[in-house]
Amino acid sequence: MRIAFHAPLKPPDAPTPSGDRRMARLLIAALRQAGHDVRLASRLRSREPDGNRARQRRIEVRGRRIACALAERARRPGAWVPDLWFTYHLYYKAPDWLGPTVCRELAIPYVVAEASHAGKRATGPWSAWHAAVADALGRADLVIGLNRADRPGVEPALGPGGHYLALRPFIEPSTGPGREDARRALAARHGLDPGRAWLLAVGMMRRDVKLESWRLLGAALERLHDCPDWQLIAAGDGPTRGQVEAALEPETLFTGTLGPDELASWMAAADLCLWPAVAEAYGMALLEAQAAGMAVVAGAAGGVPDIVRNGETGLLVPEGDVAAFAGAVRKLLDDAELRRRMGAAGARAACARPRLDPGAAPSAPATVSTRRPRGSTLHLPRPFADFGHAARRHDGTTDRGPSRADPVEPGRPDAGPRRHSARRPGTARGGTMAPAGLGPRRAVAVQSAAAGDRDRAHPRA
């Protein structure tokens, strides 16, 4: 299948590392592993962080123009025409101005991975963009949720026939260095004492909740001056680095931006991963730290409890609680054996979790089938199928383990404002060119297509 991929918050080839960029790349790799032709549709970044309505309007106008141009280009003779549009990370500060329009004009399925939608944003400086996210969700055939905290807001916004598929974040297998080799090399390079406990914090340094997390971390560690045998390593960079440096201990080692291999070395060498996770979606660094065998202390925000097993692979504390965070760090600093056990448990959990293997053949695909004259089927590779829970329809009912022979038939045909109306080729609406070959309204089915594995997906407890 030909898939047009778009990440309105940050394109996957953006120069600055982040969890969003990492997950976007993993999604693309997973889809390509399944045999799809995935292409970046646009590098348009729609994020507007300040609530500036004039700037929002300019971004919206530009986005709509690009969407119309993409649809028109796809109708040219010999053009690459997508069978499906896939948008990653949709929220009120970074709506998708491309996908809904292109999908309407080309009559192709619209899939979104990681969306959030909160009613409190219906008023205020982002109210128009909140409405745009609601419109996109209402048009989506499938929303793939990576953060369980998003589900209550997103699911009610789905239109007739829209599905919600809950997944857990995934990573690719790591081939990082061994602990002793990495620790010895880093200690020599940076003049660190290998006999102290190395505390690693990984995060961007920017003016938002990331800065709040860094400040909370600094406030928590100030309470640990009576625990002298530790060293903080802060990995990351950004426009607020000066503020982060002011918030942390003077002896903190700042690594700056790290490449994948450098970060893997620090993950292998450090003793404890710390991140307050203020308003965090789930935290890719926390997942990677556990895979490297490191115990974790984190705030129990968003989807963090889905990837950190409290009391088993790390310690979770209430989001924003400085005293509780400091207490959890102290507990693990005082008990090296508990740290070791939690790190080992995290590594085992990571090994048990299905991970993206770029060299593997596609298997156990989940499918999204569009019932149109020019039908489309999206085969999701094993990470999606293995992490998927029950797909939930817009009416709140759950599809429990559909069989590949009898796909679910959610929604009713030709209902709701989000779908296309049938038009003759060449007619126009809303100032854009109309696509040829529009069929009736699509019904979408989500099913497991693995032989002997028809009941793989289960609802959350």
Q: Mind listing the domains of the chain with CATH numbers?
A: 2-170+362-448 (3.40.50), 179-352 (3.40.50.2000)
Among candidate residues 211, 272, 275, the one with its CA nearest the CA of residue 237: 211
Query: In this predicted structure, which of 98-102, 121-125, 443-447 has the lowest mean pLDDT?
Result: 443-447
Query: Tens of pLDDT along 359-388?
Result: 454 444 445 444 333 445 555 544 454 444
Percent of the chain predicted with pLDDT > 90: 62
- Report whether pLDDT(408) > 60: no
Residue with the two structure tokens 């903080």:
232
- Each residue's pLDDT tens digit, 106-149: 999 999 999 999 999 999 999 999 999 999 999 999 999 988 88
- Please give the structure tokens belonging to residue 127: 């109210």
H helices then E strands: how many in the chain? 14, 19
pLDDT tens for each residue of 418-443: 333 333 233 332 222 322 222 222 32
Find tokens 């802060």 and name the residue.
234
3 or 357: which leads in pLDDT? 3
Percentage with pLDDT > 70 across the chain: 75
Note the pLDDT of residue 388: 41
User: Residue for token digits 């996770």?
Assistant: 277
Count of Cβ atoms closer than 10 Å to residue 247 Cβ: 19
306-320, 387-401, 418-432: which has the highest mean pLDDT? 306-320
Of residues 134, 79, 72, the one with CA closest to residue 106 = 72
Task: Give pLDDT, residue 415.
Answer: 28
Q: Exposed/middle/buried for 451, CB within 10 Å: 0-12, 13-18, 19+?
A: exposed
Mean pLDDT for the chain? Answer: 80
What pLDDT, on a 0 to 100 scale, did the predictor assign at position 172? 73
